[in-house]
Amino acid sequence: GAMGGSASLIPRDLLGEYQELTFLSKQEILLAYKRFSELLPKEERENAFSTRVPKSQILTLPELRANPFQHRICHVFSTSESGDDSMSFEDFLDMLSVFSDSATSDIKSHYAFRIFDFDNDGILDRKDLEKLVNCLTGQGEESQLSSAEMEQLIQNILEESDIDKDGTINLSEFQHVVSRSPDFASSFKIVL
């Protein structure tokens, strides 16, 4: 067919497995596969299961293009051995699963924490928080905070979140903060 019909099929046993391992419905998995294979050159589409899509292609998805954490998201979900942040179909599904409406807020906050942990050291320190704020306020001259404003904001974040007062936010402190902000889960989503 003109749609390249056969390329859009997922073997039934795999489909069942993906449904068990993710928060996605059968429809969502099939749609994800379609979107993923469309990121590949035509001649590679039938091997979409075994092909990695480069990060530059993943970032063309409108859902990520507008996301200030796009690079971190690719980094956290990519299982690439070479560290190029490319994604396999299963990486892509994991990402969509965490960002789906059906994912629990515990799972969402766990991944949000990893995405905000820019230096991957397991805690959010001042440097991570500074990068986080810069991502959120935009990098433009006019929107960037002065160093005094930045300092004040980071103080406020730590006062709110740093329960053991060690100057950093660990995962459980982060999850505690998130549990008190009802709009967190709804903002942390990608709908295809």
CA 120/CA 138 separation, integer angstroms? 22
135 and 180 both lie in a single domain: yes
Residue 63: per-residue pLDDT: 87
Cα distance between residue 157 and residue 126, in whole Å? 10
**pLDDT attached to residue 2:** 47
Of 45, 72, 99, the position where a domain reaches its end is: 99
Of 99, 114, 147, which residue constitutes the final position of a domain? 99
Interval 37-70: pLDDT, tens: 999 999 999 889 899 999 999 999 998 998 999 9
User: Is the domain of 124 the same as that of 74?
Assistant: no
Contact 46, 7 (CB under 8 A): yes
CB 60 within 8 A of CB 91: no
Residue range(s) defining the domain that contains residue 86: 12-99
Task: Tell me, yes or no, whether 22 and 86 share the same domain.
Answer: yes
Which pLDDT score is estimated for 7? 47
E strand map for the chain = none
Q: How many domains does the chain have?
A: 2
pTM: 0.88
Q: Is residue 29 part of a domain?
A: yes
Which residues, given as ranges, of the chain have pLDDT below 50?
1-7
Task: Report angle CA 84, 86, 88 to the nearest 5 degrees.
Answer: 145
139 lies in the same domain as 160: yes
Q: Count CA within 13 A, CB hemisphere, residue 90.
A: 10
Work out the percent of the chain whose per-residue pLDDT is above 70: 94
Burial (CB count within 10 angstroms: exposed 0-12, middle 13-18, buried 19+), residue 184? middle
